[in-house]
Structure 1
């Protein structure tokens, strides 16, 4: 039996450090940032959802369903994950941010192997130095637990996954895989690195 794995790309934030520009739509080397993320994960999953709380029409042009947070008020990545978990029938949901253009092409296979070998509920990616709290593979059945956590006023995702059997998938062999873009300066540095 083959597992169904869907993905959600989180593009629902305020992007304050990008001058309020919608990060997923900011161009990096002539392509919107989210397009780089889509290209990286598309071969690894069955369906892709885009979580966006503004510019939904622009995001819809990429050809995937666009979902907005059920809880309004820009409550952070947890709100986007909860919404996505309620919109998938998959066995697992891959969560990635819209501003990571160099995501590993073996992200799903390595995270899934880690989950299955240790009987875990979710895996979080690490670049070898630190965990990447919004790059995860998790079972959609965890939705109620995450929603209760958010409803209790909690926001820090690492506190949530500490409550579950969580494993870390180490991508130290790809140290730049999770480089993300928060500022125009970082965007410029990354554009130059990709162009080399």
Structure 2
């Protein structure tokens, strides 16, 4: 999709993994982030990594790294805003961003196309991925035009829940099958690394 920029959200604290960068953990000899880049990159005009701290740790991936502009690890919404800010400054031709957690190695290869189609059909502003009856609010198609609304929600309203912000606008969920594996499976715990390796090898 020519007018869409992908934002890989790597700004989390990874508390359940004892800290560190979950996207840099390896599955089958490759970083999880490399797998996410491969899946999402083919669907977007460009990719950006949202991460806080020293950006040099992602240098090997050759992508721009943007930090949250809202202080205090404000969660995925801050990463979405950072992506929108980047697009407005560097890719002004892009009308939309697609966000996804950077520790999600098996993103669907039809993610962007189906989000766009569903949003247009439903006349919605935001399209959200869903699998197994569960919405994945951090995996969504967002119009960059919501940038200042999102900034106000974060800074003035102290909003942190992605679902609460999405609920302010006409939105649509797009279902993917959760078998033979959930394409939105993400690595949150040490045992998830083993499970991901099995999926990747399968």
Band of TM-score, shorter chain: over 0.9
Work out whether residues 5 and 94 of structure 1, in 8 Å CA contact, stay in contact via their aligned partners in 2. yes
Q: Tell me, in whole angstroms, the C-alpha distance in 1 between the residues paired with 2:159 and 2:31.
A: 31
When structure 1 is superposed on structure 2, of 105-114 and 16-25 the one drifting more is 16-25
1:187 to 187, 190, 193: 193
C-alpha separation in 2, matches of 1:192 and 1:170: 24
Give the structure-2-normalised TM-score.
0.92
Runs of 4+ off more than 2 Å = 172-175
Secondary structure of 1:57's counterpart equals helix
Aligned residues: 195
Question: Can you list the C-alpha shifts for 1:86-113, whole angstroms capped at 9, x where unaligned?
Answer: 1112111000101110000000000000
CA distance in 2, matches of 1:55, 1:96: 21
Shift in CA distance, 3/32, structure 1 to aligned 2, threshold 3 Å:
closer
Partner of 2:128: 124
Question: C-alpha deviations, 1:126-181, integer Å up to 9, x for none?
Answer: 01310001000110111111111111112111011110011111112665100111
Counterpart of 1:161?
Answer: 166
Query: Does 2:21 correspond to 1:22?
Result: yes
Quote the Cα distance in structure 1 between the aligned partners of 2:42 and 2:108. Answer: 11
My pick for the range that moved more, 161-170 or 49-58, is: 49-58
Query: What is the SS of the residue equivalent to 1:136?
Result: strand
Partner-residue secondary structure (3-state), 1:44: coil
**Aligned partner of residue 16 in structure 2, secondary structure:** helix
Deviation at 1:54, TM superposition (A): 2.4
Q: Indicate the residue corresponding to 2:184 in structure 1.
A: 178
Compute the RMSD of aligned alpha carbons. 1.4
- Find the aligned partners of 2:130 and 2:54 in 1 and give their Cα distance: 30
Is the 8 Å Cα contact of residues 3 and 91 (structure 1) preserved in structure 2? no
Q: Distance in 2 between matches of 1:36 and 1:54?
A: 22
Structure 1 Cα separation of the partners of residues 51 and 165 of structure 2: 22
Is 2:66 the counterpart of 1:67? yes
CA–CA distance in 2 between the matches of 1:79 and 1:4? Answer: 22
5+ long unaligned stretches in structure 1: none
